[in-house]
Structures are given as C-alpha cells and as structure tokens.
Homo-oligomer: A and B are copies of this chain.
C-alpha cells in the first residue's frame, strides 16, 4: 500500500510541477512579459495545462486510487493520507468526465473571448462580444452536461469553485441575505453620505506601496516566501508553499485601491502560506473552496482592515507618511471615509454593505442564462433592470454594466460569483469563532498585534489546506452549518455605530 501511495504522490507532484509552471507563465505575462511574447505564451500555457490534464486523467491514476480505496477506509479521515486519496479521487472523477478535445475547445474559446473583451469593453461595444458570450453559454451548458443527474444545471459549475454548494441552497441563502441587507442599505443611504474626500487627495505611488508592504508584513505575510508586484488587475498566485505571490495596483488619487487591495490579496496569501508543508505539491496544498479563500481575504481586508481598532493603531503612522494630506483629518473622519456606504456601479470598488448586492445580481443572471430564462442578447437590459431594482441605480453604458467583470469573458458562465458572497458570510462566521476563542483579539489589533488571530486561523483553517469540504470546514470551525447570522450581526453592529439603523 505504501508503495502505491508513493507512486500516486510521485505522479501528483509531476502534475503539480506542470501546473505550477503554467501559473508562473501566467504571472510573468501579467507582470513583466513584453507584448511580443503574447502569442507563444498563450500556446505554452495551453500546452502545460493540457499535459497536466493528460497526466491526471491517465487511467493508471484511476487504478492506483482504486487500489488505495481500502487503505483510505482504514485510515483516520483527517489523516494526510486518507485526505489525499479522498480529494484526489474526487478531482479525478471530475477530470475524467471532460473529453480533452472539449477542454481544448473551451480553453481556446476563453482566450479568444478574453481578447475580444479587452477591446469591446473600452469601446462600450456589447454587440462585438455578444457572439463570444453566446458560445460561452453554450459551452458552459455542455460542460455541466458532462455531469448528468444534477439538480440545477449550474450545480456542476458551482461545484468546481465551491464544492458541495447547490443553486437551490444558495438561492435561499442569498434571498435571506438580500432581505436583511436591503433595509440596511435603505437606512444608511437615506442619511447624509460620509465625506471621503480625504481619500481622494494626491498620494504618491512609492509611499502608498511602501505603507501597504509595511502593513501586510505585520499582518504576517512572509516576504521570504512571497513578493508583491504591480498588475492592472490584482491577484494572488502560488508556485509552491514557499512562493506565494500577490499583485497590486495603485491609484494616486484614491487611497483605497492599493491599501485595501494589498490587505485583500495578503489575506488570500496568508491562507496559502499557512498550509502545512506536509501537503506541499499535492492536491491538498490549496484552499478549501473559492468561498473559503474569499473568507480570508475579506476577513483581513474588512473585519480587520476596515475596523476602528486597526486604524487606532495605524492611522497615526499613515499620517506620518502623508502629513500634508492627513494631518488635518481626524481618525473619526478617516474611519467614516473608508467605510462610506453608497449605491454604486462597480463591484470591486463597492463597500462591504452593498457589495453582496452586486454579487447576487450576477449570480441570479448566471442562473437565468443557464436555465434559458434569459438570452445573451437581453443580458445588458436585464443587468440594468436588476441594478435599478436592487441598488436603485443603473449603469449609463455597458462598459460599467454587463461588461465590467472579466469572469464571463474569460471562462464559463455559472459558478463564477457565489464565492464572493460565501466568502463574506464565512469570513464573519470564522471571525466570530476566533473571537469566541480569543476575546482579546480586537484589543490586540488596536495595538497592531495580529499573531493570535493569525495563529488561530492557521491552526483551525489554513494548515488543513484542501482536506475538508467547505461544509466540513465550517462545521469543524464553528460547530454549525453555513449561516448569514454572524455576518448580518457584524454589519448591524458596525454600521449601527456609524449610522442610525
């Protein structure tokens, strides 16, 4: 059995090496690659991904997993070995259902669609991207149909990102959340809007970057195992557990962008850097799901980084860095500015109260498209209507409407957005559990100390990597199921202090 497990691991490491190399090709493309490298680079990434897929779907892996089934059952469920066999089996079962020719078709269509989107969006020309999106929808349905027996056609697509979550459950959960959120948004936006002009002065790039690095290093991001570079769209990416990188972007007239962007991506990176080295280069060396990952980025960015305590410690330091801009601004004004709530058009720039409304609009549209209730041609209009209904504002164009997010234009329709809201919900659940175990955490944060919180997250979540399903993880960490209650409680408390609710 030990020999078979070693053989499986050896194969998985080889596949991991191919995937990690493809990740580096992507990172380089986003950071430093000269434009002349683009066409060969696209092909090189596709080659590595295809080889990784071929090697993972090799029947020899299926046979090894079959032979290891009894071994898996005799081992402790939580053990690295049982978890490795279990998770690999799940991913193998999924991978073998996708014909390689389909994977190639989807990958090459996605590249073409992304290219078209990068031109159509600035030109505000939805008609140019519409045929691509129609094909994307068609391919997304085909992909789902490789997994017959689903309850909802979106379920197999959701499974890729948030294993075990279903459209039906998410609909109920999101409706419940919307019902709670809308009155809060109403209450806040009927009051005078917070003044955030202090964040829109001129803040030179170099100081912004240095201050962001100072913060994330103190949060616990390990620069001997990572680095930060600039990209147009920030992301976190991992080449090994010893090399987990983040990227950022800076706007000199908007302090939010780089500052909270760095904390957000560092949150993702803390998760990956916290995975046990015993899981290195296996399918377990990953986050548990899109939602579980987003829970970490939002926890650090919002629950920690947008809290009054955090800025009690950091605001004097920020004022030192930008004395001309911020000496005249009080902590209270600054705190209200970074937590300004408003009905807006852009998801990524939205405050934490309205943010989920943006996400749920997209989730609902994905379901309607997949169900055939909505055509791609009618999508821009449907987008505007939902924004009007849910956020009381509609985009003047498609650029900042239906074409705003990269997701549908670079991959499938379906499964692409629920993780963001799941992340907010789970993040609040995890943070509540952390505070229950360590009530001293908020006052530590107000002293610039984050080790207790990070240590608790590592011990209870990070080190396990991908061992547990999102539901198992939530149950283990909180003792109960997924619940919107802690999140709503958190919003009510925080925004109840800022506004009358």
A-side interface residues toward B, CB under 8 Å? 13-14, 17-18, 20-22, 24-25, 28, 32-41, 43-44, 47-48, 51, 222-227, 229, 239-243, 245, 280-281
Nearest-CB residue, chain B, relative to A22 = B21
Q: In the assembled complex, which residues on chain B have CB atoms less than 8 Å from the CB atom of A47? A: 13-14, 17-18
| Interface contact A40-B227, CB-CB below 8 Å | no
As for how many copies of this chain the complex holds, the number is: 2
Q: In the assembled complex, which residues on chain B have CB atoms less than 8 Å from the CB atom of A224? A: 34-36
| Interface contact B17-A243, CB-CB below 8 Å | no
| Interface contact A37-B280, CB-CB below 8 Å | no
Q: Separation in Å of the A321 CB from the closest CB of chain B?
A: 23
| Interface contact B20-A40, CB-CB below 8 Å | yes
Inter-chain CA distance A40–B277, complex, in Å, is 11
Nearest-CB residue, chain B, relative to A245 = B34
| Interface contact B13-A24, CB-CB below 8 Å | no
Other contacts beyond A17-B43, A21-B48, A34-B227: 11, CB < 8 A: A13-B47, A17-B44, A17-B47, A21-B44, A24-B28, A36-B224, A36-B226, A37-B242, A40-B281, A41-B243, A44-B239
Centre residue among A17, A225, A241 by max chain B CB count within 10 A: A17
Q: In the assembled complex, which residues on chain B have CB atoms less than 8 Å from the CB atom of A37? A: 225, 239-240, 242-243
Q: In the assembled complex, which residues on chain B have CB atoms less than 8 Å from the CB atom of A36? A: 222, 224-226, 242-243
**A239's contact among B35, B40, B243, by CB below 8 Å, is which?**
B40
Nearest-CB residue, chain B, relative to A14 = B47
Inter-chain CA distance A223–B32, complex, in Å, is 12
Q: In the assembled complex, which residues on chain B have CB atoms less than 8 Å from the CB atom of A40? A: 20, 239-243, 280-281
**A17's contact among B17, B48, B227, by CB below 8 Å, is which?**
B48
Nearest-CB residue, chain B, relative to A28 = B24
Q: Separation in Å of the A266 CB from the closest CB of chain B?
A: 14
Q: In the assembled complex, which residues on chain B have CB atoms less than 8 Å from the CB atom of A222? A: 36
**A243's contact among B34, B225, B243, by CB below 8 Å, is which?**
B34
The 8 residue pairs across chains A and B that have the minimum distance between CB atoms: A37-B243, A40-B240, A36-B225, A36-B242, A17-B47, A17-B44, A21-B21, A36-B224
Centre residue among A18, A24, A226, A229 by max chain B CB count within 10 A: A24
Q: Separation in Å of the A385 CB from the closest CB of chain B?
A: 44
Q: Separation in Å of the A282 CB from the closest CB of chain B?
A: 12
Listed by A's residue number, 14 A-B pairs whose Cβ atoms lie within 8 Å are A13-B43, A14-B47, A21-B48, A24-B24, A24-B28, A32-B32, A32-B229, A34-B226, A36-B224, A37-B240, A40-B280, A40-B281, A41-B239, A44-B239
Centre residue among A40, A229, A280 by max chain B CB count within 10 A: A40
Q: Separation in Å of the A64 CB from the closest CB of chain B?
A: 19
| Interface contact B242-A38, CB-CB below 8 Å | yes
Q: In the assembled complex, which residues on chain B have CB atoms less than 8 Å from the CB atom of A43? A: 13, 17, 281
| Interface contact B281-A34, CB-CB below 8 Å | no
Q: Separation in Å of the A431 CB from the closest CB of chain B?
A: 28
Inter-chain CA distance A34–B227, complex, in Å, is 7
Nearest-CB residue, chain B, relative to A229 = B32
Inter-chain CA distance A44–B34, complex, in Å, is 24
| Interface contact B39-A242, CB-CB below 8 Å | yes
Nearest-CB residue, chain B, relative to A243 = B37
Inter-chain CA distance A51–B21, complex, in Å, is 13
| Interface contact B41-A240, CB-CB below 8 Å | yes
Q: Separation in Å of the A222 CB from the closest CB of chain B?
A: 7
Q: Separation in Å of the A300 CB from the closest CB of chain B?
A: 20
| Interface contact B44-A20, CB-CB below 8 Å | yes
Inter-chain CA distance A17–B240, complex, in Å, is 21
Nearest-CB residue, chain B, relative to A38 = B242
Q: In the assembled complex, which residues on chain B have CB atoms less than 8 Å from the CB atom of A20? A: 40, 44
Centre residue among A38, A48, A241 by max chain B CB count within 10 A: A48
Q: Separation in Å of the A279 CB from the closest CB of chain B?
A: 13
Inter-chain CA distance A191–B32, complex, in Å, is 49
Q: In the assembled complex, which residues on chain B have CB atoms less than 8 Å from the CB atom of A223? A: 34
Q: In the assembled complex, which residues on chain B have CB atoms less than 8 Å from the CB atom of A21? A: 21-22, 24-25, 44, 48
Known: A24-B25, A28-B28. A225 touches B44 (CB 8 A): no
Q: Separation in Å of the A196 CB from the closest CB of chain B?
A: 35
Q: In the assembled complex, which residues on chain B have CB atoms less than 8 Å from the CB atom of A239? A: 37, 40-41, 44
Nearest-CB residue, chain B, relative to A227 = B34
